[in-house]
């Protein structure tokens, strides 16, 4: 077996390590090794993490005892695929019964170093308790992935996402700090902040930028309103997580064109921090690679939770390989993607999600027997001339029929929109394969996202 760099559980990385400046890889062996050999190293690690979780949490012990699943039995990936998945509902229940971190914490509550949480817009929020040592390991992993994106020590990284419960900003910052970058934790979401961000970006000219994709487009709009060309910020790398966008072709090209920077998609789930374990690289900038030696990513059938073959679509299921606090073992994401295994131009031997994560299973619009992804509408509209930059999708039931209304902004003045409405409405309809009622509204009238966009309003009784 090839000697992998710093491969142990519990994990502790050398905090002073930096790769050879000429190397595109942080850990050349781990990143470019034969995938079968990597898998052979991961399998006993999965068992080890399960043994640890079984010994340290009544959550996992009870869950696995109930189905007679023992960590020692995990001697093949086929056996691992039968480990029952963890759902968000189970975590909420565990935290209600064992507040505040649930009985899957696995470390002493006093050893929790960072507390984050879900926004809790739909029900009780979930608390994330991350140990000090885990936080260091997360920073190391993110530094390694940022290195893969082409970010280097001394680069200035502008973090333009919410700094509160949201783990995205903190995780990006921890990685950039470990990489010895200069971090500007700018944040987002407060009144007037976008225009201040434009000012700071123009003055500081950072190299790298992190946000949600919809917020980057918002920022470009505000810059243009202020007569500043976002290309003057001089950004080289823009990395995004939190929602689909960076892998939606027209959204991606709109960001690339506005800022003149390389767009990188990354991100799994807050529970899965180091959430950048699915990430593109400088040499493979499209889609996302699955850094299988950091987090074990499976793409599964959403009903059986067995992995689907490469080339097929399914839902991501994630397992931590290095976390000791709240380790997630087969966390069901409820998202949708497709995975492939092919030669990556960057030389990393990881599987890839060529179209990123397209969206959540729950957000897919089921209308008259067809499935529509909200990102398809975004992708279409971004390619249309005179589109004003924002839209809404309204689904309602009229009589016994479901109706989809797309309301999009246009830069055209009223009275000169009939051609726009006609060509966009019929184009969208044939692109999606469902009937669409198309309406146009003035530019800059629909709400812009400061964080993750919410463009779908489903008014149907049965989906409420």
Number of residues that bind ligand 8LH (CB under 6 A): 17
Shortest spacing between CB 188 and ligand 8LH, in angstroms: 13
Measured at the CA of 300, the angle between CA 373 and CA 287, to 5 degrees, comes to 55
- Two tokens at 374? 């909200």
Considering beta carbons, is residue 240 or 420 the nearer one to ligand 8LH? 240
Q: What letters, b where the CB count within 10 A reaches 16 and e where it falls short, cover 345-370?
A: ebebbbbbbebbbbbbeebbbebeee
> Which residue has its beta carbon closest to ligand 8LH?
267
Shortest spacing between CB 385 and ligand 8LH, in angstroms: 27
For position 360 contacting ligand 8LH by CB under 6 A, the verdict is yes
Considering beta carbons, is residue 87 or 426 the nearer one to ligand 8LH? 87
Residues 391-450 that bind ligand 8LH (CB under 6 A): none
| Cα 279 to Cα 265: distance, rounded to the nearest angstrom | 6
For tokens 């889609």, what's the residue?
Answer: 287
Local structure of 275: helix, strand or coil: helix
Out of 140, 221, 286, 335, the only residue in the binding site for ligand 8LH (CB under 6 A) is 335
DSSP string, 350-389: --EETT-EEEEGGGSEEETTEEE-HHHHHHHHTTSTTEEE
SS3 content of the chain, % helix, strand, coil (to 5): 35, 20, 45
Q: What is the sign, positive or negative, of the torsion defined by CA atoms of 34, 36, 147, 260?
A: positive
Residues 272-301 that bind ligand 8LH (CB under 6 A): 275
For position 356 contacting ligand 8LH by CB under 6 A, the verdict is yes
Considering beta carbons, is residue 151 or 270 the nearer one to ligand 8LH? 270
Question: Residue 123 CB: number of other CB atoms within 10 A?
Answer: 10
Out of 230, 267, 285, 388, the only residue in the binding site for ligand 8LH (CB under 6 A) is 267
Out of 357, 377, 393, 412, the only residue in the binding site for ligand 8LH (CB under 6 A) is 357
Residues 235-254 that bind ligand 8LH (CB under 6 A): 241-244
Out of 155, 265, 286, 298, the only residue in the binding site for ligand 8LH (CB under 6 A) is 265
Out of 269, 294, 393, 434, the only residue in the binding site for ligand 8LH (CB under 6 A) is 269
The residues binding ligand 8LH (CB under 6 A) are 167-168, 241-244, 265-267, 269-270, 275, 333, 335, 356-357, 360
């Amino acid at each position: 077996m090839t000697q992998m760099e710093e491969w142990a559980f519990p994990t502790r990385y050398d905090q002073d390590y930096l790769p050879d400046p000429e190397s595109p890889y942080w850990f050349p062996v781990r990143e470019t090794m034969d995938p079968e050999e990597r898998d052979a190293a991961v399998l006993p690690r999965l068992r080890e993490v399960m043994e640890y979780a079984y010994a340290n949490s009544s959550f996992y012990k009870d869950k696995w005892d109930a189905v007679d699943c023992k960590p020692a039995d995990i001697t093949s990936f086929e056996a691992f695929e039968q480990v029952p998945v963890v759902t968000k509902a189970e975590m909420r229940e565990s935290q209600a019964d064992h507040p505040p971190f649930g009985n899957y914490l696995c470390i002493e509550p006093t050893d929790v170093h960072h507390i984050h949480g879900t926004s809790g817009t739909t029900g009780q929020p979930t608390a994330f308790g991350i140990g000090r040592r885990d936080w260091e390991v997360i920073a190391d992993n993110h530094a390694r992935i940022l290195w893969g994106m082409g970010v280097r020590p001394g680069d200035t990284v502008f973090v333009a996402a919410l700094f509160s419960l949201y783990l995205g900003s903190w995780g990006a910052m921890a990685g950039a700090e470990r990489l010895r970058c200069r971090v500007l934790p700018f944040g987002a979401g407060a009144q007037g902040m976008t225009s201040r961000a434009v000012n700071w970006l123009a003055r500081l000219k950072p190299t790298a930028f992190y946000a949600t994709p919809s917020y980057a487009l918002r920022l470009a709009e505000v810059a243009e309103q202020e007569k500043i060309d976002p290309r003057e910020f001089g950004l080289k790398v823009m990395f995004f997580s939190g929602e689909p966008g960076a892998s939606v072709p027209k959204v991606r090209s709109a960001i690339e064109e506005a800022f003149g920077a390389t767009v990188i998609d990354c991100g799994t789930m807050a529970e899965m921090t180091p959430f950048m374990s699915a990430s593109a690289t400088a040499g493979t900038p499209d889609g996302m690679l699955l850094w299988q030696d950091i987090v074990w990513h499976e793409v599964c059938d959403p009903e059986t939770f067995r992995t689907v073959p490469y080339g097929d679509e399914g839902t991501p299921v994630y397992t931590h390989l290095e976390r000791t606090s709240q380790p997630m073992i087969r966390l069901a994401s409820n998202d949708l993607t497709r995975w492939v295994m092919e030669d990556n131009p960057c030389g990393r031997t990881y599987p890839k999600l060529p179209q990123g994560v397209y969206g959540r299973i729950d957000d897919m619009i089921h209308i008259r027997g067809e499935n529509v992804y909200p990102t398809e509408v975004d992708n279409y509209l971004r390619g249309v001339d005179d589109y004003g930059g924002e839209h809404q999708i309204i689904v309602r039931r009229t009589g016994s029929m479901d109706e989809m209304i797309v309301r999009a902004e246009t830069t055209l003045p009223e009275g000169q929109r009939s051609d726009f409405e006609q060509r966009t409405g019929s184009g969208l309809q044939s692109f999606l394969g469902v009937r669409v009622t198309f309406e146009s509204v003035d530019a800059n009238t629909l709400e812009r996202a400061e964080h993750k966009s919410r463009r779908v309003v489903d008014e149907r009784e049965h989906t409420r």
